[in-house]
Amino acid sequence: MRPIIGITSYVLPASWGVWTDLPTALVPHDYTEAVRLAGGRAVLLPPDDLDADVLDRIDGLVLAGGPDLEPSLYGQDRGPHTVTHPDRDAAELLLLRAALDRDLPVLGVCRGMQLLTVAAGGSLHQHLPDVLGHEKHRPGPGVYGSQLAVLDPGSRIAALMGEDLTINCFHHQGVADPGSLTVTGRAADGLPEVVEDPERRFVLGVQWHPEVSRDHRFFGALVAAASKELTQACADR
């Protein structure tokens, strides 16, 4: 059996065939294909803040990228560059907190890393150019910034990355305070690019987009952790 990996999804207007601008639950295919190539079975999780019961039926969770988090979640007023989807915030925080309670394997990508940070009591910079004085983390519309990560020796991320430290990021917000999480990787300008929770089996957040290159290092590690979750669940039955 392949482990089932839930992927949080956007709800945005989309068009296909004769249909135009229909509200649609979607994620870029890169996410689902990265999970499939790593040996998992991807399912989409549209925003739903009624309960977290779906966690009974999945073995791992991917917090996908997307819009900014509502700043009130970390004690700030909304800045002029911040664009939020509060319905997604509420649904994903419910799922994430329940997943952490269960020690379910979690991979946070870009916004997903920021969600992990906020759930851990941390905070964000709302617009990095105001803090860093440059736009290397989001060079332009639809253009990924290519950088080299600086990783902590002995960390999970260092073991996964090996010698290839190139990251492809697209974000205008970033982690200011990681809360209870551990920062294990940074960009050259010092901005946190990786957070981990060493107290849990597999909780990893990266500020870049490994799904774009179908990076087996990350999705393979998630699927491996989820496979152990599945094996344990079958044994418990």
Provide the token pair at 195: 């957070």
Q: How confident is the model at residue 227 (pLDDT cuts 50, 70, 90)?
A: very high
User: How much is the pLDDT for 230?
Assistant: 63
Mean pLDDT of 94-103: 98
Phi (first) and psi of residue 68, to 5 degrees: -65, 150
According to DSSP, the β-strands at 41-45 and 4-8 are parallel
Among 85, 110, 169, 171, the one annotated catalytic: 110
User: How much is the pLDDT for 173?
Assistant: 96
| Active site annotation includes 110 | yes
Q: What is the DSSP letter of 3?
A: P
User: How much is the pLDDT for 137?
Assistant: 87
Mean pLDDT of 63-92: 96
Please report the DSSP string for 46-97 in residue order.
----S--GGGGG-SEEEE---SBPPGGGGT-PPPTT--B-HHHHHHHHHHHH
Provide the token pair at 138: 């989001």
Mean pLDDT of 74-100: 96
Q: Is the distance from CB of 149 to CB of 106 less than 8 angstroms?
A: no
Give me the torsion for CA of 106, 108, 113, 116, rounded to 10°. -30
Q: How confident is the model at residue 84 (pLDDT cuts 50, 70, 90)?
A: very high
Among 70, 193, 196, 211, the one annotated catalytic: 211
Residues 6+ apart with CB under 8 A from 59: 3, 4, 5, 40, 104, 105, 226, 227, 229, 230, 233
User: How much is the pLDDT for 236?
Assistant: 62
Distance CA 107, CA 145 (A): 21
The string over 13-28, giving b where at least 16 C-beta atoms fall within 10 Å of a residue's C-beta and e elsewhere, is eeeeeeeeeeeeeebb
Distance CA 94, CA 25 (A): 18
Q: What is the DSSP letter of 4?
A: E
Say if residue 229's pLDDT is above 90.
no
> Percent of the chain, pLDDT > 90?
90
- Report the 10 Å Cβ neighbour count for 129: 14
Q: What is the DSSP letter of 140?
A: B
User: How much is the pLDDT for 228?
Assistant: 80
User: How much is the pLDDT for 25?
Assistant: 94
| Helix H or strand E segment including 216 | helix 216-236
User: How much is the pLDDT for 92?
Assistant: 98
Q: What is the pLDDT of residues 193-208, one digit of tens each?
A: 999 999 999 999 999 9
Say if residue 232's pLDDT is above 90.
no
| Active site annotation includes 85 | no
According to DSSP, the β-strands at 19-26 and 41-45 are unpaired
User: How much is the pLDDT for 237?
Assistant: 55
Mean pLDDT, the chain, integer: 94
Decide which of 140 and 178 is more confident.
178
- Report the 10 Å Cβ neighbour count for 93: 17
Distance CA 191, CA 149 (A): 10
Among 85, 125, 171, 209, the one annotated catalytic: 209
Q: What is the pLDDT of residues 144-194, one digit of tens each?
A: 999 999 999 999 999 999 999 999 999 999 999 999 999 999 999 999 999
Q: Could you tell me the domains of the chain?
A: 4-236 (3.40.50.880)
Say if residue 234's pLDDT is above 90.
no
Q: Is the distance from CB of 66 to CB of 85 less than 8 angstroms?
A: yes
